[in-house]
Structure 1
C-alpha cells in the first residue's frame, strides 16, 4: 500500500517525459536569446512564470542552466539586480559541440609542429575567410543602417543565434550579440578563433569594432560593439564612455581596426 500523496514511480517517470519537450524549449530559448529572466522566458514561450520556474528547477538539477545576477550597464538602479538563467557548459554540450576535443587536438598539433600561436592564428583567419563570402554578400546587399542586422541573420544561419540591437547608453552604436558559439570550448584554449572573427566583422562592416564579452571566457553572450557610422562623413562617430568600467573593456583600444586583445577574453 502506498502512502497518501506518493506517486508511483511509473507516474513520476511519465511526468518527467511529458515535461521534456517544454523543458527543451526553455533551454533553447536561453540559447537563442542569452541569459534570461523568468519573466522574459514566460513571455517568449507563452507560459506562466510558475511553469517556467518548474522547468528551470529541472534544468538546474540537471546542470543544464545556472542562475546568475543580471549584469547592469550604465547607471545602476536601486534594489538587487534581477536573477537570470544561463546555459552551463554541460547545457551547451547538448547543442552540437561533440567534436570539440578533436578540433582542440588538431590545433594543438598545428601549434606544436608549425609555428606556435602564429600558426593557429593563420589557420583561424583561413577558416573564417572560407565562411566570409556568404556574410559579405548579406552585408553588401543591406543599406548601411541595416548591415549589423544583416550580418546577425547570416551568422544565425550558421548556428550562432545572433541578434543586433542598439547599444546601451552611454555608447552610441549597436551591439552584435551571438547567443551560441559552436566552437566556444575550443576558443577557450585558442582565442585566435575569436580574434579572427572580430577582424572579419570589422572588415565586413567597414569600421573598427570592439569585442566586449565572449562565451568562451564565461560570459552568457558573445558581444561586439559597433560604433555608429556618420551618414555625412562615412566615419565612425567619436565615443566617450562614462559607464561603469567593471562591465566593459578599456575603450582606449576602441580606435584600432579590431581590438585583438579583447577579442577572446572576458574584459570584466
Structure 2
C-alpha cells in the first residue's frame, strides 16, 4: 500500500491523493520548499505543511537546508524537503528482494559478466522505448536533453532537467531522477547504473557523467550532460539497440 494511504487511515480519498502528489513532487524535484510545493499542487502554505508534517512523522520525507537562487540567494538557507529511504520504498514495487535474490543467483552461477549483460539488455530496452521521443526534437542539444528527461518521466523515473553553466565552456544540462525503479537492486549491482549512463551517452552522442546516485545514498540521481560536446558531435549519436 502506498505510504500516503497509511499515514492517516481516516483521511478521505482526496486527502490521500493530494499527499501522494506531494510525495511524488518531492521525489521529482527535491530539495523543494513548502512554498514551491504549495504552488505546484494549488494549496495554501498551511495546507501543504499539514501534508508535509504527516509525511515527516511517517518518516517518508525529511527537511534539509537548501540555498535558493535569485532574490534569496544571499539570504538564509530555506528549509526544503527530500525523500528518505522510507519514501523511496513507498514509490518502489514490492519485488526488490526477489529481484536481488535472482541477480545474486545469476552472479553466483554465471558470474559478474552475466549480471552486466542483463543490465545492458534492460537498459537497451528502455533506450528503445524512449529513443523516438529524443530523436523527434532534432539536433538541438538542450532540446534533446529535455526530451530525454520527459521520456524518463513518462517511464516513471520522476526525471527533470535544468541548464547549468550557461555561457561557459562547461555549459550543460543537469538531469535529475528523483525515483529509480531499480534503486534497491542497483545498490548491490552498480552494473545497472553503468548501463543506464551508457545508453544515455549513446542516445545523446556525448559522454555523460553520473554525479550522484540514489543507489549510493544520495537523494536523487544526477547526471551531467555536456551541451557543447553534443552540439559539436551530432554524428556520433547512434541507435542504442
CA contact (8 A) 1:34 1:86 kept: yes
Cα distance in 2 for partners of 1:184, 1:52 equals 28
Partner of 2:66: 70
Q: Does 1:138 align with 2:151?
A: no
Q: 1:38 to 1:229 in 2, by over 3 A?
A: same
Q: 1:233 to 1:89 in 2, by over 3 A?
A: closer
Partner of 2:16: 20
Partner of 1:203: 202
Cα distance in 2 for partners of 1:165, 1:13 equals 37
Partner of 2:216: 217
Cα distance in 1 for partners of 2:37, 2:149 equals 21
- The runs of 5 or more residues in structure 2 that have no matched partner are 1-7, 235-241
Local SS of the residue matching 1:142:
coil
Shift of 1:96: 3.5
TM-score w.r.t. the length of structure 2 is: 0.81
TM-score w.r.t. the length of structure 1 is: 0.74
**Residues 121-136 of structure 1 mapped to structure 2, 5 A cutoff:** 121-136=116-131
Local SS of the residue matching 2:193:
helix
Partner of 1:252: none
Name the one with the larger helix percent: 2
Cα distance in 2 for partners of 1:101, 1:230 equals 39
Q: CA RMSD in A?
A: 2.5
Partner of 2:227: 228
Q: Which of 73, 78, 81 is residue 82 of structure 1 equivalent to?
A: 78
Q: Which of 150, 155, 163 is residue 153 of structure 1 equivalent to?
A: 150
Give the number of aligned pairs.
Answer: 220
Local SS of the residue matching 2:32:
coil
CA contact (8 A) 1:97 1:183 kept: no
Local SS of the residue matching 1:144:
coil
Residue deviations 1:82-139, cap 9 Å, x none?
A: 22111122112222421110111111111111123x3321211111112221222222
Shift of 1:38: 0.9
CA contact (8 A) 2:67 2:76 kept: no
- The runs of 5 or more residues in structure 1 that have no matched partner are 1-11, 236-268
Partner of 2:237: none
Partner of 2:32: 36
Q: 1:22 to 1:89 in 2, by over 3 A?
A: same
Local SS of the residue matching 1:229:
helix
Q: 1:224 to 1:22 in 2, by over 3 A?
A: same
Greater alpha carbon shift after TM alignment, 212-221 vs 106-115: 212-221
Shift of 1:211: 0.7
Q: 1:232 to 1:182 in 2, by over 3 A?
A: closer
